[in-house]
Amino acid sequence: MKRRSEPEPLAQALASYLASSGLAARVEQAAVIPEWATLVGPQIAAVTEPLLITADGTMFVAVASSPWMSELSLMERQLLSALNRIPGRSPVTKIRYRIRG
């Protein structure tokens, strides 16, 4: 292995590692979590908390109450459309809700 004369910037090293390990797509998909409030709007964001996204694209979201869970279940198609707006990102394929505890 040839040694470099200068150190590689951390961001570049991390990007290289994520690409070579196959994790880059999962990291990009997980970016939906911090973007949740922007993507779904303030009213839904106020009563929900995104928890995680599995490798198969299932997103788990904590919800404030059963009525909200029912309402959001009916809105799943619209929410998935909002979450999958960014081209090239591995899609969120379904949303599963649980009452916030």
Q: Look up the CATH number of the domain holding residue 61.
A: 3.30.300.20
Question: Does residue 10 form part of some domain?
Answer: no
DSSP 28-93: HHHTHHHHHHHHH-HHHHHTEEEEEE-TTSEEEEEES-HHHHHHHHHTHHHHHHHHT-STTSPPP-
Question: Does residue 59 form part of some domain?
Answer: yes
**Residue 7 CA from chain centroid, whole number:** 32
Domain span holding position 81: 32-99
DSSP 6: S
Number of domains in the chain: 1
Beta bridge partners of 59: 53, 95
pTM above 0.85, yes or no: no
pLDDT tens profile 37-89: 999 999 999 999 999 999 899 999 999 999 999 999 999 999 999 999 988 88
Q: Is it the case that residue 18 has pLDDT exceeding 70?
A: no
